[in-house]
Structures are given as structure tokens and as C-alpha cells.
Structure 1
Amino acid sequence: MNLKRIFGALLTALGIGGLIYTAVLFSGASAQTSVIKSIIIFGVLGIVFFVSGINLIRTTKDES
């Protein structure tokens, strides 16, 4: 298996984990500034990891 595809799958999994954690924080959020900052930070990182992982998997060509 290609190393780039494995790294892409890892990035995608980390992105999904970050987005799920953001949803958990959002569901129990209050109006505190630190909670809002955490939601924004984890949400942006989750989206970046998820999109970069999907793009890495999609653009890597299979070579045998």
C-alpha cells in the first residue's frame, strides 16, 4: 500500500476526530470566551486535516 494513502487516511481520521470533538464542545457550550475559542480552534483544525487528507487520498495515483 502506498505511504501517501496511509498518511491521507490518518489525516482524514484526525480531521473527523477533531470535528466530532468540536461537536461535543458545541453541544455543551456556554457563553464563556474560552469555550468559544476552543470550538473555533478545533473546528478549523478538524476541517483542515479532513480536507487535506481527502485531497491526498484522491490525488495519489496507484502504482504497481
Structure 2
Amino acid sequence: MNMKRSFGALLTILGIIGIIWGAYSFMTGGGGGLPGGRFNALIPFVVGLIFFGSGIGLVKGTKDEA
């Protein structure tokens, strides 16, 4: 596994964590460690989606050269 795939896997894991955290914060009304309301809870969700998408793209788009 090369560096790009490892970085893609790390981005994917961080994206999953961000999506879960954002969804939990949104469902609890903006709680979960974030000040403000539901709008501020969407920020980690969107960042998680970006990380998840870019991580999946790196893993799928990188050729395995052994």
C-alpha cells in the first residue's frame, strides 16, 4: 500500500468521524461540544463529507504498484 492510498484511508476515517459527529450534533440541537444552534452543527458534517469524498477518491484512483 503506497502513501496516497494510506492518506486516502486516513481521510476516509476522518470523514466518517466528522459525519457521525456532525449528525449527532445536529440531532441533539447543536450540542455535542459545539456552541450555537443547528447551523453550527452542520459544519463538521460538511467537512466530514469533503474528507470522506476525497479519501474515497484517493483510494479508488490510485493504482497499486507492487
| TM-score (norm: length of structure 2) | 0.84
> Structure 2: 5+ residue runs without aligned partners?
none
> Structure 1: 5+ residue runs without aligned partners?
none
The answer to whether the 8 A contact 2:26-2:42 is kept is: no
Distance 2:43 2:3 in 1: 28
Tell me the C-alpha RMSD between the 2 structures. 1.6
2:61 aligns with 59
1:10 aligns with 10
| TM-score (norm: length of structure 1) | 0.86
Distance 2:11 2:47 in 1: 11
Amino acid paired to 1:54 = I
Distance 2:6 2:37 in 1: 33
The answer to whether the 8 A contact 2:5-2:62 is kept is: yes
Instruction: Looking at secondary structure, tell me which structure has more helix per residue.
Output: 1
Count, aligned residues: 62
